C-alpha cells in the first residue's frame, strides 16, 4: 500500500516536507477484516489539531505512521460475511490507497446514482452533520431569524447557509476569502448577502450587510469574525462555535474577542460543540438532507485533487482557502 506518514509536527503552516509517501506491503486480512481499495480520502481542518503532538479532544497523529482520516473505498477482499466484495464503504483509514480494516470500523454506503460517493466525505458526511447539528441543535435556529456564517464557501459553511434558508431564515449572510466565493454564495447557494473578509474590517462589512443585526452566528473562523459577530449580534443571539480556523496555524495561543463584556449585556449564548458527540442526530440529518441533496434543493461543490502523493498539498492549500466546498483527494478508482 502507499501511505502518507507525518514526519514532524509542523510549527506554523504545514510544509510538504512534514509529510512523506511510504510504500509497504499489507498483511493478509484475517477473520473479521476487510482489504479496502480507497477511491477518495478527506483532508479536513481538524487534522491540523492532530498534528500538534498534543492531545486535544482527540489523540494526536503518531509520527512515521499512517494517519487516520475519513475515506471512501471498495472492499477488495472480505473476511466478514456481512460485506461482499465490491461493496462501497466509508471508514477511517484515509491518507493511503489501500488498508486492512476491522469490519466493525467500516460502514457500507447507500450508493445513490445522482450523488457521487465522495459526498459521504462532505455534504452527506461528517461536515454535513456538523452544519446540521450546529445550526439546529446547538444554536437552535428558528424560522424568521437572521443568520451569519463564516467560512461560508467551505464544506460546513455552504450547507449551514442553505439549511438556514430552507428553515425560513429572515436573512442569511456569509463571509469567505475571495470575490469568486462571494459570487458563489449569493448566486449559486442563495445567500441573501456575502462579503470577502479580506476586503476590509469584518465588523464594518458585517454591520453594513446586517442592518437589523444577527440572531444566530455559526462560527468556523474565530478571531476577528467572532468579535464582529458579537458586536453586531441582537440581544439573546445564539452562537454555535464550530471551529476557529484563523488560529489553527498559530504558534501562540490566540487572544479572545476584546468585547467579551457584550456576552453579558446582550445576554448572548455561545455554545461550542464537537460533532462526534452527537451521533443521535445522524438519523434526522440523513433523512432531511439526503433527499434535498438528491433533488438539488441543497447544492454542494467539491474541489478534487488527483493522486495520493498530492494529499499533503491538498491539505495545506485547503487551510489557505484553495477549496470551494469540500476538499477531497481522489486516490484510485
33, burial (CB in 10 Å: exposed 0-12, middle 13-18, buried 19+): buried
The pair phi, psi for residue 16, each rounded to 5°, is -55, -35
In the list 169, 214, 323, 328, the residue contacting ligand NDP (rule: CB under 6 A) is 323
Residue 201 in grid coordinates = 474590517
In the list 66, 94, 116, 127, the residue contacting ligand NDP (rule: CB under 6 A) is 127
Using CB under 6 A as the binding rule, whether residue 162 contacts ligand NDP is answered as no
- In terms of CB distance, is 1 or 270 closer to ligand NDP? 270
Smallest distance from the beta carbon of 108 to ligand NDP, in angstroms? 23
Give residues 199-238 in contact with ligand NDP (rule: CB under 6 A).
Answer: 220-221
64, burial (CB in 10 Å: exposed 0-12, middle 13-18, buried 19+): exposed
- In terms of CB distance, is 31 or 57 closer to ligand NDP? 57
With cell 479536513, the residue in question is 44
Please report, for residues 63, 159, 163, 210, the alpha-carbon distance to residue 135 in angstroms, rounded to integers and kept in the order given: 35, 10, 8, 19
In the list 141, 163, 172, 318, the residue contacting ligand NDP (rule: CB under 6 A) is 318
Binding segment (CB under 6 A) for ligand NDP, from list 18-26, 41-49, 68-76, 307-315: 41-49
Smallest distance from the beta carbon of 82 to ligand NDP, in angstroms? 29
Using CB under 6 A as the binding rule, whether residue 14 contacts ligand NDP is answered as no
Regarding beta strands 33-42 and 71-78, do their DSSP bridges make them parallel or antiparallel, or are they unpaired?
antiparallel
Asked if 153 and 159 touch (Cβ cutoff 8 Å), the reply is no
Residue-wise DSSP of 99-124: EEEEGGG-EE----TTS-GGGGGTTT
Q: Is 275 helix (H, G, I), strand (E, B) or coil?
A: helix
Smallest distance from the beta carbon of 57 to ligand NDP, in angstroms? 9
Binding segment (CB under 6 A) for ligand NDP, from list 42-50, 84-92, 209-217, 287-295: 42-50
- In terms of CB distance, is 83 or 239 closer to ligand NDP? 239
Smallest distance from the beta carbon of 308 to ligand NDP, in angstroms? 20
Using CB under 6 A as the binding rule, whether residue 46 contacts ligand NDP is answered as yes
Q: Which helix (H) or strand (E) holds 196?
A: strand 193-196
* Torsion of Cα atoms, 115 then 121 then 127 then 129, to 10°: 60
Using CB under 6 A as the binding rule, whether residue 312 contacts ligand NDP is answered as no
Per CB under 6 A, residues contacting ligand NDP are 44-46, 127, 130, 151, 153-157, 176-178, 181, 197, 220-221, 242-243, 245-246, 273-275, 318-319, 321, 323, 326
Amino acid at each position: 500500500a502507499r501511505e502518507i506518514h507525518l514526519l514532524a509536527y509542523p510549527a506554523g503552516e504545514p510544509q510538504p516536507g512534514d509529510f512523506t509517501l511510504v510504500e509497504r506491503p499489507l498483511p493478509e486480512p484475517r477473520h473479521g477484516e476487510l482489504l479496502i481499495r480507497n477511491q477518495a480520502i478527506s483532508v479536513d481542518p481538524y487534522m491540523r489539531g492532530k498534528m500538534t503532538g498534543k492531545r486535544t479532544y482527540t489523540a494526536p497523529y503518531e509520527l512515521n505512521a499512517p494517519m487516520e482520516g475519513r475515506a471512501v473505498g471498495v472492499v477488495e477482499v472480505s473476511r466478514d460475511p456481512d460485506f461482499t466484495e465490491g461493496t462501497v464503504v466509508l471508514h477511517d483509514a484515509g491518507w493511503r490507497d489501500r488498508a486492512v480494516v476491522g469490519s466493525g470500523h467500516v460502514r457500507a454506503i447507500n450508493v445513490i446514482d445522482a450523488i457521487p460517493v465522495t459526498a459521504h466525505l462532505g455534504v452527506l458526511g461528517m461536515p454535513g452533520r456538523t452544519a446540521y447539528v450546529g445550526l439546529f441543535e446547538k444554536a437552535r435556529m428558528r424560522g424568521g431569524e437572521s443568520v451569519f456564517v463564516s467560512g461560508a464557501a467551505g464544506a460546513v459553511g455552504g450547507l449551514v447557509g442553505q439549511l438556514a434558508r430552507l428553515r425560513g431564515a429572515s436573512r442569511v449572510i456569509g463571509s469567505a476569502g475571495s470575490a469568486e466565493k462571494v459570487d458563489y454564495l449569493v448566486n449559486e447557494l442563495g445567500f441573501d448577502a456575502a462579503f470577502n473578509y479580506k476586503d476590509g474590517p469584518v465588523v464594518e462589512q458585517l454591520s453594513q450587510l446586517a442592518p437589523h443585526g444577527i440572531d444566530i452566528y455559526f462560527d468556523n473562523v474565530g478571531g476577528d469574525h467572532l468579535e464582529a459577530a458579537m458586536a453586531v449580534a441582537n440581544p439573546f443571539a445564539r452562537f454555535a462555535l464550530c471551529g476557529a480556523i484563523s488560529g489553527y496555524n498559530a504558534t501562540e495561543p490566540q487572544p479572545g474577542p476584546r468585547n467579551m463584556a457584550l456576552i453579558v449585556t446582550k445576554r448572548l449564548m455561545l455554545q461550542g460543540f464537537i460533532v462526534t458527540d452527537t451521533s443521535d442526530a445522524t438519523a434526522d440529518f440523513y433523512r432531511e438532507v439526503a433527499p434535498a441533496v438528491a433533488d438539488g434543493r441543497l447544492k454542494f461543490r467539491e474541489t478534487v485533487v488527483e493522486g495520493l502523493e498530492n494529499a499533503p498539498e491538498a491539505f495545506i492549500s485547503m487551510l489557505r482557502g484553495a477549496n470551494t466546498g469540500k476538499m477531497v483527494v481522489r486516490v484510485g478508482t
